[in-house]
Amino acid sequence: MSTHVLKTIIFMSSAKDIQAPWGGPKRLGDGLLNHVKNFLQQRTAELGGEKITHEVTVFDPLEVFGKGGALEESGAELKHPHHFFAPGKAPAGMDAMAKKIKEADCYVVVCAEYNHSIPPALASMMGHFGGSNYACKPSAIIAYSAGPFAGARAAVALRPFLSELGCLPVSKMALFPSPNEYLEADGTVKDPDNRMLKQIPGVVTQLEWMAIAMKNQLAKYGPMSA
């Protein structure tokens, strides 16, 4: 059986680094981010007689916009979009990030809910790069929040954002209320039987199916014309 390695990028959405007055971790989604990363790195699936695995890259706004980060010079204000630079004139780190995004087969967005919508750090980080880098590839939405709605409003707001970038979200989503209650910060599961965690395999299965199908179409026909 041959192995098909999907180049999978995880975009973390939140840049929060301050604890809320009511307590809890500084960034609620750290455990979920690490759990998703661990799940993908350890996953082996089968599709059409091929073994499917993932080569995972994480883009975290705390790192990307931080000191030495790929988008440090532009900042989260999106002062210098990559596609505004003449070829070869963008900062090296930004060029490297653009290359990773363009070479990816699929994307997973771990999305917090800020003010009932998507975090500005995510919109800026992904928006630094033109839609041609994302086009004709699928994405998956994994959302979370401290409240019982589990980031559902952010997930709904994220769908048109991803669609307009060209990385169409698969139909399944995974939504997590208070993920720190069942995940450690390093992604370790506190309760393996927690029903919330059973959402992820279905989302990833859809993502893999679409990634393979769209990759095959790109190889055969190239990107869609406008």
- Which CATH number fits the domain that encloses residue 142? 3.40.50.360
Determine, yes or no, domain membership for 154.
yes
- On whether residue 43 sits in a domain, the answer given is yes
pLDDT of the residue at 46: 95
DSSP sequence for 210-221:
HHHHHHHHHHHH
Q: pLDDT by residue (tens digit) across 142-197?
A: 999 887 767 799 999 999 999 999 999 999 999 999 898 899 999 999 988 888 89
Domain annotation covers residue 226 = no
The residue type of 165 is L
Query: Is there a domain that residue 162 lies in?
Result: yes
- The structural domain count of the chain equals 1
Structural domain range at position 121: 3-221
User: Is 185 a domain residue?
Assistant: yes
Q: Which two tokens stand for residue 32?
A: 């979920």
pLDDT computed for residue 226 by the predictor: 53
C-alpha distances out from residue 17 to 27, 33, 122, 147, 155, Å: 6, 15, 15, 19, 22
| Residues of the chain below pLDDT 50 | none
pLDDT in the model for residue 225: 66
User: Does 132 fall in a domain?
Assistant: yes
Degrees to nearest 5, angle at CA 206 with 179 and 170? 75
